[in-house]
Amino acid sequence: GIPHARVNLKHGMKVEALRHSRETCTACAGTILLEFAALSRLSGEPIFEVKAHAAMDALWKMRHRSSELMGTVLNVHSGDWIRRESGVGAGIDSYYEYCLKSYILLGDERYLARFNRHYNAIMKYISQGPMLLDVQMHRPHTKTRNFMDALLAFWPGLQVLSGDLKPAVQTHEMLYQVMQMHTFIPEAFTFDFQVHWGQHHLRPEFIESTYFLYRATGDHYYLHAGKKALKALQQHARVPCGYAAVNDVRTGKHDDRMDSYVLSETFKYLFLLFSDPADLILNIEDFIFTTEAHLLPLTLGVLGNHTMGARDQEDQVQMLDYMRSCPSPNKLFPETVRRPLRDLVTGVCPRISSPKRLRASDFQASNADHLRTVYDMGITMVSLGEGKVQLLHSFYNAKSPEDAERGLIFMQEMVELSKSNAIPNTQLQAVAFKRKGDTELHVLEAGPSHFGMELTKDMSVVQQAVYAQPIKLCSTLKNAKEVRDKIVIMERGECTFVDKARRAQSAGAVAAIVFDNTPNTSINNQQMFAMSGDGKDDVQIPVVFLFTKEAEQLMAAIKQQPTVELTLMSVSGLKERLERERADTTKTDTKSESKATP
């Protein structure tokens, strides 16, 4: 019963672009009932409303029965959830809207019951004061992202329609402050109200909520909010042929687009906000807005509905358990609700800075105090196996808001640190060898380490190689005698690079080569990096890293000639040495030719 996201009106789903279409969003599937019911009741053809009810029923059955929340993306054919994130913004927004508006237009109480059960869940799990934070539908206490998107700005307007004005005032005030901070509400913004996605597509949702709050409260504050939004459009989006979307609110650069909703919704709600109802040619109270701000007459609900089937048993709920009454705006005084939020957005700036905080460059995974500190900052470490670790940050796992802020800074520093670990070509190391019968020196490019001896200029190590036993060298070396005074070769994984190096050095190795444990990696398809240490300076031997493809070449050479000598030195130093040798050879050849000339 769930419709596809797109269909070709002439060829259906048989066109190539749609043939393999499987996914749709909850809002896509759940935002057709008003229009299809109107079509059925005006045309006398019940099939449209029947199909739309079937879609809503199918979605209702897919909710999580414990949390009463919905995901955002689902498989049309199997009914399985593809994305289980639950919020009130992109991908799900108008589904909740149509649950309530279907009751208002059609008088079908099952939709009011469904809306109220969803609404109670949203206010329990997703609403955090004025903010609305996405959660997992099946684990509603787990937040799924660190930002909010602009589409959730419709929510205060829907809350007004449902009669819950206080949280509507609070969320609208938060959004209004974000708008004033960035001129426009960015497409997405973080929990500390910084820009996450900088685009602004002239969306109508904030104006829509502003209009509904003004109509509900009569508070001229909302007229001023609308005036400020209109002024921003005139100053920053107006172009000779219309209004252009903003590519980035931080730069003000325009996009060459003006979506249809700018006229049908954004300017319509602005016009209605500043209009005197007596001057309109129709009574807005006799209509309901669709999600695209089209007006449907409420009289459609009394035309007779021949499409309603038997209700599911679970829809037979005690309506009084979910009914809400609209409070009198004369007693609400929106200003008293807004006042505690006055510095909500500006109050988080400037961002904190503490000289005592743990910096990413100082972090050591073996330091228990460091591990406790990152845990307090809301950061957890997930082992990916083979010695690799992933860091995950959650604002709500932090010990305090200040610790959470430090955690964000720490994660940003980690990203920059990982980028800095990508080394320039001037620091590349070389593993070179020449087998018997070879005329050319084979040179394999290798990565350096942040520990051990650094091979620079003419510094080099020349020796035969021996494989470590065990090959990953994360336990006691079994062939220590063979390793002494040799270059030891070992595999990445199971323990840190520096631990491997310490065991090799303890056995008397003169150098070490670590090769990758991931198939098909090569310096030609991977960014080379420097192996990290733990801050101690106890490793004195040089240690280099080879990706898999280069290591396979080395292993093939050793297999063919076990006594082959390897040369470890910097790539730049080796090139200079080879150039000098070629120059010396050229001079020698020239002298020989001169002597041989009669």
Q: For residue 174, is pLDDT > 70? A: yes
Using alpha carbons, list the distances in angstroms from residue 212 to 180, 294, 337, 570: 20, 15, 17, 69
DSSP 285: G
Percent of the chain with pLDDT over 90: 58
Distances (CA, A) of 474 to 366, 477, 492, 509: 15, 8, 10, 16
Local confidence band at 216 (pLDDT 50, 70, 90 cut-offs): very high
421: pLDDT confidence band, cut at 50, 70 and 90? low
Q: Where are the alpha helices (DSSP H) in 378-528?
A: 401-420, 480-483, 497-506
Full-model pTM: 0.58
Q: Which amino acid, 226?
A: G
Rounded to an integer, the average pLDDT of 253-273 is 96
User: How far lies 372's CA from each of 14, 138, 360, 393, 413, in Å?
Assistant: 57, 29, 14, 14, 18
Residue partners of 575: CB distance under 8 A and separation at least 6: none
Percent of the chain clearing pLDDT 70 (strictly above): 87
Tokens of 184: 């426009």
Fold designation for 1-145: Glycosyltransferase (1.50.10)
> 67: Cβ–Cβ under 8 A, 6 or more apart, which residues?
86, 121, 125, 137, 138, 140
- d(C-alpha 138, C-alpha 485), whole Å: 59
Pick the CATH number of 429-584 from 3.40.50.2300, 3.40.50.300, 3.50.30.30, 3.40.190.10: 3.50.30.30
Sorting pLDDT into bands at 50, 70 and 90, what band is 61? Answer: very high
In the predicted structure, residue 453 carries a pLDDT above the cut 60: yes
pLDDT exceeds cutoff 90 at 490? yes
Which residues, at least 6 apart from 204, have a Cβ–Cβ distance to it below 8 Å? 261, 262, 265, 266, 268, 269, 293
Specify the pLDDT at position 357: 73
pLDDT-based confidence at residue 428 (cuts at 50, 70, 90):
confident
Least confident interval from 217-231, 323-337, 488-502: 323-337
Q: Are 187 and 149 in contact (CB under 8 A)?
A: yes
pLDDT of residue 342: 74
Q: Which parts are annotated binding residues for Ca(2+)?
A: 291
Output the 3-class SS for 311-370: CCHHHCCCHHHCCCCCCCHHHHCHHHHHHHHCCCCHHHCCCCCCCCCCCHHHCCCCCHHH
Q: What is the pLDDT of residue 485?
A: 94
Q: Is residue 346 very low, low, confident or very high in pLDDT (cuts 50, 70, 90)?
A: low
Residue ranges covered by each domain of the chain: 1-145, 148-302, 357-421, 429-584
Mean pLDDT of the chain: 86
Among 96-110, 141-155, 336-350, 414-428, the minimum mean pLDDT is found in 414-428
- The closest of 84, 77, 70 to 30, measured between CA atoms, is 70
- pLDDT, tens digit, 9 for 90 and up, residues 379-399: 887 655 444 567 777 766 777
Annotated binding site: 291
Q: How high is the pLDDT of residue 330?
A: 46
